[in-house]
Chains A and B, each alone.
Chain A
Amino acid sequence: MATRTFEFTPGPNIDALKDDPVHGELMHLNLGPQHPATHGVLRLSVDLDGETMHNVVPDVGYLHRGKEKTCESLGWAKFFPHTDRLDYVQPLMNNIGYALALEKLAGLEVPQRGQEIRVLLMELSRIAAHLIYLGTTAIDLGAVTMFFNTFKEREKVYTILDAYTGHRMNNTYVRIGGVFADVDDTLEGMMREFLEQFRAEIDSFESLLTGNRIWHDRNRGVGTVSRSDALAWALSGPNLRGSGEPYDLRKAQPYSGYEDYAFEVPVGTVGDCYDRYLIRVEEMRQSVTIALQALDRLHKSRGGEILIEDRRYVLPPKHKVHTSMEELIFQFKIVTDMCLPRGEAYHGIESSKGELGFFVASDGTRTPLRCHIRAPGLYNVQAIPLLAEGRLFSDMVAIIGSLDFVMGEVDR
């Protein structure tokens, strides 16, 4: 693959076109950072020749809050609420990704039921995140009905999460070694009811878009990325699978017991926006299957433990804190001085955007030596020039939408 250089102005294309009477002048255009179609605060610097884009340069960092450094100063457990705010359309997924990295570092094994609840939460988050993708991409391309319908469904997911965690967003319900609360019968019922009616809703979304001529015209053959390019540009998740590479971390490096669930990994053939759309829709169907399997397991494992019993990392129950001096001391120790062993760990999970990885290094103290977040969104943003250059400007919206990133995670 040819190496690419990014320059703001004047780019190489300008020189090539300088003496051309028709294409002589390129217009420099800043798209964003406040453009709604950029799904956050992404700035794109584009040179336009008529309608054709040259020199597309994404400029990230407008939402930079220093999350990695925050983690390094806050300490292990206190970073959980901050992970919610990375990819804020799927807070629980980020929680779990971070928790898995810490558990790997500490060598902890989450109890069976805790893992089942985590799988359930991850799949519900994936559904919510893909619904946002579908709604926002469709409204950017003019399909307003889709936006309302997907948000209606997403609202149901959030109502379930609200009933479980007490918050609609920013849930913070995962702890080192498990999850905070158990899923009871009422919740199980709510989830089952939602999942069962959701299949029909996916079909109705598809009936509106998959065979829609405008959707076809704006998505097919737009933003095509070949399999080798997708791999070279470190795309992951639906963007990689759209190009035909069946790489899914849930299958490739199973975690939280994903190897025991029966599901399929959808892959595309062409690698354009349309393929990525089809894949996300199919992934929602697969998520429903996984979530239903997880619910069945939860039904069987009732009364099981959801959090490990390890007084180095997990707070003792309240009633014991009141009665036992030993536990009171642990309570104080864990809150003020929880240390993870020396070493480093990386754990990647398949989030709705791709491989979401947390790398943590510890020198055995209260705070991480280093916390790095491999945000899939950043790699998706990075691929925008590859997909957009040489295409018409109106395709940009479709490309941005179909790459599906959230700036909270890209800028961290």
Chain B
Amino acid sequence: MVIVKRKELSLRERLYLPEVVRALSFTFRALFKRKITRQYPEEGLPVTEVTRGQPRLTLLEDGENLACVSCGLCEAACPAYAITIDGQETDRFIEREPERFEIDMLRCILCGFCEEACPKDAIFMSDELELADFTREALIYDIDKLKRPKAALQKRIDYFYKVNDRWRKPSSTS
């Protein structure tokens, strides 16, 4: 426990004007310091693989089919109810694929729970952050708007696996 010291004003401080000059000198010194403001739309914030932007769906290596098997786990994990999935059977080797996969970007809070929940590496947070359109409907993204080649998300995937390295020991409770 420390008792904070209440400062009594000295004569100089009570006179006020010298203090105004001192404070102004503080302000003027800032003129010559490096600017820290950012001209936002022209000059964006740096995005890295850590950045959690909007979620995107990954395509398989063939570049055509989604990695998603529409298991619905991301939908169940989403705290904002942003994801809607309708699954269907397919002849492809993964057997299931989404017929409809929509993320309502107006609802999405970029929490990353879908990415954590997905057992198929099918959904990852991209570094795409900007979101603007003229209608609400246009911001409900469907598969066409969501799919990205795996290479575009590779940095995030690598980062995610690195973070997952935290489990070093085998499971103790099962």
- A interface list, Cβ under 8 A from B: 74, 77-82, 145, 148, 152, 155, 162-167, 170, 172, 180-182, 204, 208, 210-213, 216, 220, 246, 264-270, 274-275, 278-279, 282, 303, 305-307, 309-312, 315-322, 326-328, 330-332, 335-336
Contacts and interface: CB of A to CB of B under 8 A. Distances in A.
Nearest to A180: B163
Task: Provide the main secondary structure of the chain A interface.
Answer: helix
A79 B110 contact: no
A165 B68 CA distance: 25
A320 B167 CA distance: 10
A190 B165 CA distance: 22
Contacts of A321: 119
Given A78-B113, A309-B167, 16 more contacts: A78-B79, A81-B79, A148-B30, A170-B111, A204-B26, A211-B13, A266-B1, A267-B1, A268-B4, A278-B5, A282-B2, A309-B172, A318-B121, A319-B161, A328-B119, A336-B73
Contacts of B116: 315
A347 B51 CA distance: 31
Q: Which 9 A-B pairs have the closest CB atoms?
A: A166-B52, A78-B79, A278-B4, A317-B164, A81-B111, A317-B167, A246-B1, A166-B50, A264-B2
A305 B52 contact: no
Contact of B110 (A167, A213, A265, A309): A167
Contact of B166 (A80, A267, A279, A307): A307
Interface of B: 1-7, 9-10, 13-14, 16, 19, 23, 26-27, 30, 36, 45, 48, 50-52, 71, 73, 76-80, 109-113, 116-117, 119, 121, 125, 160-161, 163-169, 171-174
A335 B117 contact: yes
Interface of B is mostly: loop
Nearest to B157: A318
Given A166-B52, A211-B19, A275-B4, A326 B9 contact: no
Nearest to A283: B4
A213 B14 contact: yes
A269 B79 contact: no
A309 B26 contact: no
B36 A152 contact: yes
Contacts of A307: 166-167
B4 A267 contact: yes
Nearest to B72: A336
Contacts of B27: 145
